[in-house]
Structure 1
Amino acid sequence: MATLDDVAKLALALPEVVETDYRDRRAWSVRGKTFAWERPFSKADIKRYGDEVPPELPVLGVRTDGLVEKEAILADPPPGVFHIPHFNGYAGVLVELGRISGDDLRDVLLDAWLAMAPQELVDRHRGGQG
């Protein structure tokens, strides 16, 4: 089971990532662009689940590199990755930390960082290989 501290450790290992406080919750950004954040459910989110049990908190929101990538992820998501109606039309997915593996969490965070980091920083991270 991953925790927000695990997220912080993985995210902060990426170049130029800072942890911030967004609405009294943890978030991670690169050069001012948030790529991952703690995402509790709103009352409306809970209501949409009806009789279904919503995913267990903590939940992480992560950016994707556009809606096409989001749909590709959701076509065959790793365990713990999901979507809610509030995210319709938004380039991001949600991650139930209690269900995702460490390797999948690392991959999801890296992809989110790559989606938000400036190209020159991405190129440097990849050792000049684009």
Structure 2
Amino acid sequence: MKSIRYIFSLLALVIITSSTAVAAPQVGVMLGSDSGINAKFGDIKIGVGLDNFSITLDKMIDFNNTPYFYYGFGGKIDDINSSHHDVKLGARAIFGAQTSVEKFTFFVEAQPILYIIDDVKVELEAIAGVRYQF
């Protein structure tokens, strides 16, 4: 468990320090594979799933400087408080679309994930949601 925390902390540090965009923070909700809270700080997106407690951290990159479509990469820790102590760690890509209406951003994402701890497998997950810009 200690090595999982170390790996995820190192990944978070690399993603956060490579962030160059500075924008107002956004916080909202997401529904789908991970239903919970979603926050965006510049080009870094953090999600906390509440169904099976999970944490995601992603770096987002715009397609050809268009604000509507993006891709990215990141990681996910899933089933953190599971009764079987089967914590899953995965590397993932994200592909999404977003649009803003006043201070609200609506988004939808597809997320192929390669789980590398607990059981090696590939899954396709998806979320949709809305964030409010402060």
What is the TM-score of this pair, normalised by structure 1? 0.33
Normalised TM-score (structure 2) = 0.32
Q: Which has a greater percent of strand?
A: 2
